[in-house]
Amino acid sequence: MNALFDLRGKSAIVTGAGRGIGRSIAIGIAQAGADVTLCSRTETELASLAAEIERFGRRALVVPCDVTKAEEVQHVIDMTKNEFGRIDILINNAGITKKTPAEDYELEDWNRIIAVNLTGVFLFAQYAGREMIKQGGGRIINISSVASQTAVTGSVAYCASKGGVNMITKVLAVEWAKYGVQVNGIAPSYFETPLVKQIKDTREGFAEQIAARTPLGRMGHPDELVGAAVFLASDASSYISGETIFVDGGWVAVGL
């Protein structure tokens, strides 16, 4: 392995690790050498993922967690430190959405999406960041979305939350640079995940519409985000902070 991308000796936390993007990234950074703490609300999904990671010869720690609850976030931090000794990488991936016209959006749905997608990102970044500051460095990677920069109809809460993620990324990168903590983001477009499958199952022609809108002519596969994650977690990105990389098949670049 190229030493620039080598994560051996590193420990990572991945939220929303049970499926989709989080699962692929957890496997990818383990293959690059990192030991991984796996978090989500569904423990059964994490157990099978941990077994897969351990087959690579890496350690995997399963800690169920609701990212909106500060005490559970702190528990993940404590368990990771106890198991691996330090926290080098945080992948802030947990997220939800609901498609509803803005005029009909229920406050309960708005609050839940903001709590998971935005407050949860901040809590994990803050709690992990405190440890990284103490140890003299670390990498935080926040999973954003093309919806942070382009409007997605029926997704006002999701778009607002992901726009906020981009700004959390910038602010923390600036504040924590002096401590050796680098904070960056990855913004996918539509990827073949369980979250997107929910939309596909309820909107006829949705997949075809996305393919037609995307210059590369298809949705992405979660494994296609691994390269960006390993890059940002590794020494290959040693002079990058405060950036959000759009992995989107050309989605944001589209004009008239």
**Element spanning 141, H or E:** strand 138-143
Q: What is the pLDDT of residue 1?
A: 54
In degrees rounded to 5, what are phi and psi of residue 79?
-65, -40
Q: Which residues contact 98 (CB under 8 A, 6 or more apart)?
A: 109, 113, 157, 158
The residues carrying an active-site annotation are 158
pLDDT over threshold 80, residue 186 = yes
Cα gap 184→207, rounded to integer Å: 29
Q: How confident is the prediction for the chain on average, in pLDDT? A: 96
Beta bridge partners of residue 14, listed in sequence order: 38, 91
Mean pLDDT score, 185-198: 89
Instruction: Domains for the chain: give ranges and CATH numbers.
Output: 3-246 (3.40.50.720)
pLDDT over threshold 90, residue 200 = no
Return the C-alpha torsion angle 89, 92, 93, 97, nearest 10.
180
Helix 43-54 and helix 20-31, axial crossing angle in degrees, nearest 10: 20
Per DSSP, the three-state class of 194 is helix
**Element spanning 13, H or E:** strand 11-14
Cα gap 164→150, rounded to integer Å: 13
pLDDT over threshold 60, residue 169 = yes
Q: What is the pLDDT of residue 203?
A: 82
Starting at the edge strand found earlier in the chain, the sheet holding 35-38 runs: 60-62, 35-38, 11-14, 89-92, 138-143, 181-188, 244-247
Cα gap 118→67, rounded to integer Å: 10
Q: What is the pLDDT of residue 27?
A: 98
Q: Which residues contact 34 (CB under 8 A, 6 or more apart)?
A: 7, 8, 10, 11, 12, 58, 88, 89, 233
pLDDT over threshold 90, residue 88 = yes
Q: What percent of the chain has pLDDT over 90?
A: 89
105 HSE (CA, 13 A, CB side): 20
Contact between residue 240 and residue 184 where contact means Cβ atoms under 8 Å apart: yes
